[in-house]
Structure 1
Amino acid sequence: MHSTLLLEDDYQATVRLAHDRLQPSSSRLGVSVDGSDSRPGGVRSSVLESWNRSIDRLHDPAGARVRVAYEADQLAEVRRRHPFHSIMPLLRSHLIEPAKDAGLLAALGDEQGRLLWVEGERAVRDRAEAMGFLAGTDWSEEVMGTSAPGLALRSGSPVQISQAEHFAPDVHSWSCSAVPVTHPLTGQVIGIIDVTGGDDAVSSIVLPLLASTAKAAGAELSQLYRPKHMDRSGAEAVRSELSVFGSAPALQGPEGARVSLTRRHAEILLLLHRFPDGISGSGLVDRLWPVGGSEVTVRAEITRLRKAIDGLGGLRIDARPYRLLGDLDSDLDRTCAALARGDVDTALGHYRGPVLPDSDAPGVREIGDEVDALLRETLLQDGTWQQLWRYASLPDFRDDAEVLMTVLRLAPPEAAERNAAVVRLEALGC
């Protein structure tokens, strides 16, 4: 892969020579900078400026030492409360799995540069852990000097750092790219996403991958953190609610009127609800049919759906693009919002099984798979044995061996649920 950085031997040699001049001193590095970010004749200005800040704070590159910010028990709780936790299925599909397939590490950190997740092949993680790049450690510029995670947070911009551009000598065999992620409502940085490895970690395709992941993360979080609608008295307004868990989808108006929905109408409402900026006719075709389908069919279904929901809670469907107007909530959104708050009991109260289980619509399956994976992963990582058993009692998950084994591991010896879990596992041949 071709790199977006100047990775030729002459540039790296220049960087190494300049880095060798960094001494344990309060004086700044005497290398001229012309303000451009990349110069064939010298160190990139952004890197040099970071080195100078690092010298001022840390004094000696060899003295940069990894600091553990969170021990294992603290890390689990911090992860659970961080916004990334609520969108892990998206982050896995958009970033973690592609990075892992490329032999790279994907790291997710908080707004202070502390790594919360570091994932990749075991052999690569072992090498990275040898230099202290692992979950729970602090990789801010203040602690580790120049690195992509630290500089991305410092600058608020995408950053790539190659080999000897790192401040700490132990990191010179690695390269990394990082992008800050902002809260969709406040615009404040909530963390960073990073790819670390060899030269491929700063290839030309990595920053677009990180940027698209950050954009998708913001869009997903905006669904979870939408402001509540208030009435004139300041109380939360009663909204229509879409029910999509289970095989009997329905729409209930704020006054209690209930409309049973066909599978196709439920699919369309769910998609329009999840994409508040609207979806084109061709976009709906792609999300509703694995193969075939047409915009003519979409228009016909939209016409029938408009008649079905006419007068219910002020909901209506605009066109060009198709957009759902009016106040609508859903059991899916309530589940995701509860998981984002770390409220597993409430999430289980809303969750009744897979989203529209009879649907083969690609867009619906993607939404359903994400919430299913998020709930299951949350339970396996942070759930109590009672919550796990409650999940395993749902018809679709009675045979989930990993969940049943976790119940056995966590439940006390006297719990009757242990015997029931053993019986199910034996029936599964485990």
Structure 2
Amino acid sequence: MEVDRPAMQSMPLLEDEYQRMVRRAHERLQSLSSHDTDPSAPGVRPSVLESWTRSLDRLRDPAGVQTRVAYEAEQLAEVRRRHPFHSIMPLLRSHLIEPANDAGLLVALGDEQGRLLWVEGERSVRNRAESMGFVPGADWSEDVMGTSAPGLALRSGSAVQISQAEHFAPEVHSWSCSAVPVKHPLTGQVLGIIDVTGGDDAVSSIVLPLLTSTAKVAGAGLSELYTPNSGELSRPGEGSDAYLTVTGSTPQLRGPDGTSLTLTRRHAEILLLLHRSPEGISGGGLVEQLWPVGGSEVTVRAEITRLRRAIDHLGDLRVDARPYRLRGGFGSDVERIHQALAQGDVETALDRYRGRVLPESDAPGVREISDELDALMRETLLQDGTWQQLWRYAGLPQFRGDDEVLMAVLRLAPPEAPERNAALVRLEALGL
């Protein structure tokens, strides 16, 4: 709020007199929009007037402002995975997202261009925000949406609060928001924004200090992950350790150096079972978990020998015996999904979840792991997922016919959403 502090001290953002003044000024702004770009309005904060002027020059008619989708679902998942915020989501969740959600507020995390990557909050609040296009993947830069806290925070490079009618777009006048940019801990460049959106509480006196504190905590968290010499992000569990991917597609094992190894189904089964049993598994135990019938410890020993040769070049990863146990740095998508769900981070869990675990496997231990993960993922989405998340889940080949999920999309998606019509067509094809 750098240039408006004196005015703010004498005229609080939510004071009735100030809001009446702003609304009158905004009405004049709309009447001038088609032929004048000088929205003079004494009493309105200078930073807001300056933003109105820029917005009027680019967008012309405030009433005609419409959100623009920058990232569709599949692209959004990849952008999220690569964004630095993804690596510190547990920190952001505990420091800001959970307290804000408890207060009935939304927390949005956006990239350096103002495109929202995450919008977190209670479903009822998220559903209301969808009506103004405040959704993951939408562009909320000043160039697209005019005056708003996310857009102005990026333009000014500092913490910003925008209340009610200060927004350029009339559709946003029932909301207030506060936002702060987050900067690269080494270069100082802006990496993205953190925004709190809601009713009057979103611009209360405690929100900016909380946002500023969160931005500092985020910077400190990122400074531990960036490589000082290159400024590039090192992702724990995906760059420094071997990493096993077993959901949905062909099982892959990636080494610490980035090399990728396509595994046989049996080797993937063994690695997964040992990974999920850090205390180790006996030879007899592996027989029971690998074969529905038959199998022997001799066969297990032969498979372990071949597996050791296959992973010999992958850093410090190894398989010890008596009992069989994994040693060295190791992670998996199954582990990451469980961690995300335990933290309430449905979006990250869905980003990593590509379908059933080793779907071709008939190993009893693997099927148990898969069934547990499938049930947890599905129930979490049905209880807490957005309609967009539910539709992404229904897009996975193994779950296209899940009628309960499709019905949830019908119930939650707005009437104009094309996904709603697609869900209806799919339900009709199922005879429902």
Fold in common (TM above 0.5):
yes
Aligned runs of 1:188-337 on 2, under 5 Å?
188-228=189-229, 337=234
Aligned runs of 1:30-429 on 2, under 5 Å?
30-31=39-40, 42-228=43-229, 337-339=234-236, 344=238, 346-349=239-242, 393-396=275-278, 403=338, 409-411=355-357, 413-416=359-362, 419-423=364-368
In the alignment, which residue of structure 1 is the partner of 2:13?
6
Matched, 1:18 2:25: yes
Relative to 1, partners in 2 of residues 1:10 and 1:403: Cα closer, same or farther, differing over 3 Å? closer
State the superposition RMSD in angstroms: 3.6
**CA distance in structure 2 between the aligned counterparts of 1:129 and 1:383, rounded to whole angstroms:** 33
**CA distance in structure 1 between the aligned counterparts of 2:180 and 2:128, rounded to whole angstroms:** 23
Query: Which residue identity is paired with 1:28?
Result: T
**CA distance in structure 2 between the aligned counterparts of 1:208 and 1:153, rounded to whole angstroms:** 18
**CA distance in structure 2 between the aligned counterparts of 1:161 and 1:145, rounded to whole angstroms:** 12
CA positional deviation for 1:15: 0.5
Relative to 1, partners in 2 of residues 1:415 and 1:126: Cα closer, same or farther, differing over 3 Å? same
Check the 8 A contact 1:103/1:121 in 2, yes or no.
yes
Deviation string, structure 1 residues 73-125 (Cα, Å, up to 9, x no partner): 00000001111111111111111111101110000000000000000000000
**CA distance in structure 2 between the aligned counterparts of 1:401 and 1:45, rounded to whole angstroms:** 46
CA positional deviation for 1:416: 4.5
**CA distance in structure 1 between the aligned counterparts of 2:196 and 2:279, rounded to whole angstroms:** 34
CA positional deviation for 1:223: 1.1
Task: Tell me the number of residue pairs that the alignment of Structure 1 and Structure 2 aligns.
Answer: 282
Check the 8 A contact 2:246/2:357 in 1, yes or no.
no
Matched, 1:28 2:55: no
**CA distance in structure 2 between the aligned counterparts of 1:168 and 1:69, rounded to whole angstroms:** 19
**CA distance in structure 2 between the aligned counterparts of 1:403 and 1:383, rounded to whole angstroms:** 18
Which shifted more, 193-202 or 398-407? 398-407
- SS state at 2:76 partner: helix
Check the 8 A contact 1:401/1:425 in 2, yes or no.
no
Query: Which residue identity is paired with 2:71?
Result: Y
Relative to 1, partners in 2 of residues 1:76 and 1:220: Cα closer, same or farther, differing over 3 Å? same
Relative to 1, partners in 2 of residues 1:423 and 1:150: Cα closer, same or farther, differing over 3 Å? closer
Query: Which residue identity is paired with 2:242?
Result: G
**CA distance in structure 1 between the aligned counterparts of 2:51 and 2:194, rounded to whole angstroms:** 19
CA positional deviation for 1:6: 2.5
Query: Which residue identity is paired with 2:235?
Result: A
Deviation string, structure 1 residues 120-170 (Cα, Å, up to 9, x no partner): 000000000111001000000000000000000011010000001000011
- SS state at 1:194 partner: strand
Relative to 1, partners in 2 of residues 1:73 and 1:29: Cα closer, same or farther, differing over 3 Å? same
Indicate the percent of aligned positions where both proteins have the same amino acid.
63
CA positional deviation for 1:212: 0.5
Check the 8 A contact 1:26/1:56 in 2, yes or no.
no
- SS state at 1:181 partner: strand
**CA distance in structure 2 between the aligned counterparts of 1:397 and 1:146, rounded to whole angstroms:** 56
- SS state at 2:154 partner: helix
Check the 8 A contact 1:175/1:199 in 2, yes or no.
yes
Check the 8 A contact 2:105/2:197 in 1, yes or no.
yes
Relative to 1, partners in 2 of residues 1:414 and 1:168: Cα closer, same or farther, differing over 3 Å? same
**CA distance in structure 1 between the aligned counterparts of 2:279 and 2:36, rounded to whole angstroms:** 63
**CA distance in structure 2 between the aligned counterparts of 1:148 and 1:423, rounded to whole angstroms:** 47
**CA distance in structure 2 between the aligned counterparts of 1:74 and 1:123, rounded to whole angstroms:** 26
Check the 8 A contact 1:408/1:421 in 2, yes or no.
no
CA positional deviation for 1:54: 0.4
Deviation string, structure 1 residues 311-369 (Cα, Å, up to 9, x no partner): xxxxxxxxxxxxxxxxxxxxxxx9x8234xxx83x454289xxxxxxxxxxxxxxxxxx
**CA distance in structure 2 between the aligned counterparts of 1:383 and 1:204, rounded to whole angstroms:** 49
Relative to 1, partners in 2 of residues 1:45 and 1:380: Cα closer, same or farther, differing over 3 Å? farther
Deviation string, structure 1 residues 185-221 (Cα, Å, up to 9, x no partner): 1100010000000000000000000000000111111
CA positional deviation for 1:226: 3.7
Check the 8 A contact 1:175/1:197 in 2, yes or no.
yes
Relative to 1, partners in 2 of residues 1:207 and 1:381: Cα closer, same or farther, differing over 3 Å? farther
Between 1 and 2, higher relative CO (CA 8 Å, sep ≥ 6) is seen in 1
Check the 8 A contact 2:182/2:190 in 1, yes or no.
yes
**CA distance in structure 1 between the aligned counterparts of 2:163 and 2:250, rounded to whole angstroms:** 43
CA positional deviation for 1:422: 2.3
Relative to 1, partners in 2 of residues 1:111 and 1:380: Cα closer, same or farther, differing over 3 Å? farther
Relative to 1, partners in 2 of residues 1:160 and 1:384: Cα closer, same or farther, differing over 3 Å? farther
Query: Which residue identity is paired with 2:277?
Result: P
Q: TM-score, normalised by structure 1?
A: 0.58
Deviation string, structure 1 residues 29-82 (Cα, Å, up to 9, x no partner): 34256xxxxxxxx11111111011100000000111000000000000000111
Check the 8 A contact 2:227/2:234 in 1, yes or no.
no
Relative to 1, partners in 2 of residues 1:381 and 1:421: Cα closer, same or farther, differing over 3 Å? closer
Check the 8 A contact 1:385/1:410 in 2, yes or no.
no
Relative to 1, partners in 2 of residues 1:121 and 1:102: Cα closer, same or farther, differing over 3 Å? same
Relative to 1, partners in 2 of residues 1:68 and 1:179: Cα closer, same or farther, differing over 3 Å? same
Deviation string, structure 1 residues 223-264 (Cα, Å, up to 9, x no partner): 1114249xxxxxxxxxxxxxxxxxxxxxxxxxxxxxxxxxxx
Query: Which residue identity is paired with 1:338?
Result: R
